[in-house]
Amino acid sequence: RSLPSDPGASFDKAVHIDAATLEPMVTYGTNPGMVVAVNGHVPDRKGDPVFDAAMKYMGLNPGEPIGNAPVNVVFVGSCTNGRLSDLRAAARVLRGRKVASGVHMLVVPGSQEVKRLAEAEGLHDVFRAAGAEWRESGCSMCLGMNGDTVGKGQYSVSTSNRNFEGRQGVGARTLLASPETAAASAIRGRVTDPRELLS
C-alpha cells in the first residue's frame, strides 16, 4: 500500500469489508445512490417524491427484478471505467461471445494511451469480434456527445458515473454498472450478473 495511515493513528471507527462477498451493483433510478444488487429488486419507496419521479422516468416498478430491465445500448468507457483494467475486465466477459441482437455496444478507452495499450493487447479485436464498436478516446455516450446518444425510452447499461435524467440523451434511461456487468448485459440483452458468464 502506497498511502498508509500514520503509525499509531487512532480512528473513531474501523469498518472491515470482505469485498469478495459483495454482489455486483446496478442503479435503478436517476442518481448513483439509487442502487441494488444485480440480482435484486427495485425497492418500494412509494411516497418519496424523488423515488416516485425516478420510477416514472425510468419506467420501472417497485418490486420488479432489476434483471427484467431490457438493454438497448451498452456503453463501456470514457474516463470513468475506461482504464486498461476496465477494458480487460469487459473483454474477459465478451471473449468468444456476441453482443445480443438489437443491442448497440460502444467501447471508448479513457485516453489515447489506454487505447494504444489496449490495442497492443488485442482487446479491440475482442470487442469488435463480439459486435461492439471500438472508438477513439473521448466523452462519447457518457454524456451524449458527438451524436452518441441513447434514444428516448431506451435503456442503457453504462459504466459512466452519472445517470440523471437526460444524461445520455433526451428521455434516455441509464443504468450504471461495472464493465463486467455492462458486458454481460450486452450479451444477454438484459441486466445480467457477470458471474453467470464467468463461472
Q: pLDDT, tens digit, for every residue of 72-90?
A: 999 999 888 899 999 999 9
Residue-number span of the structural domain to which 191 is assigned: 71-198
Beta strands in 104-196, from DSSP E residues, in sequence order: 104-108, 133-134, 155-158, 173-176
Under 8 Å between Cβ of 169 and 47: no
10 Å Cβ neighbour count for 4?
A: 7
Residue 49 has pLDDT above 80, yes or no: yes
Query: Given this model, what pLDDT does residue 64 score?
Result: 96
Residue 184 has pLDDT above 80, yes or no: yes
Query: Given this model, what pLDDT does residue 133 score?
Result: 97
Under 8 Å between Cβ of 160 and 174: yes
H or E stretch at 134:
strand 133-134
Q: Give domain status of residue 33, yes or no.
A: no
Assign 19 a pLDDT band (cuts: 50, 70, 90).
confident
Compute the average pLDDT of residues 43-59.
95
Query: Mean pLDDT across the chain, nearest whole number?
Result: 94
Query: Given this model, what pLDDT does residue 20 score?
Result: 86
Q: Give domain status of residue 12, yes or no.
A: no
Query: Given this model, what pLDDT does residue 169 score?
Result: 92
Q: Give domain status of residue 175, yes or no.
A: yes
Compute the average pLDDT of residues 22-44.
96
Cα angle, residue 172 at apex, residues 184 and 94 outer, rounded to 5°: 15
Residue 142 has pLDDT above 80, yes or no: no
CATH number for the domain spanning 84: value is 3.30.499.10
Three-state DSSP at 43 gives: coil
Q: Give domain status of residue 46, yes or no.
A: no
Q: Give domain status of residue 10, yes or no.
A: no
Under 8 Å between Cβ of 195 and 87: no
The structural domain count of the chain equals 1
Residue 145 has pLDDT above 80, yes or no: no
Residue 57 has pLDDT above 70, yes or no: yes
Query: Given this model, what pLDDT does residue 154 score?
Result: 96
CA distances to 55, 75, 91, 147, 153 from 140, rounded to whole Å, are 26, 9, 19, 8, 19
C-alpha cell of 90? 469487459
Assign 118 a pLDDT band (cuts: 50, 70, 90).
very high
Report the Cα 97 to chain-centroid distance in Å: 18
Q: Give domain status of residue 53, yes or no.
A: no
Compute the average pLDDT of residues 96-116.
97
Q: Give domain status of residue 102, yes or no.
A: yes
Compute the average pLDDT of residues 45-62.
95
Q: Give domain status of residue 47, yes or no.
A: no
Residue 104 has pLDDT above 90, yes or no: yes
DSSP-derived secondary structure letter, 45: -
Query: Given this model, what pLDDT does residue 1 score?
Result: 66
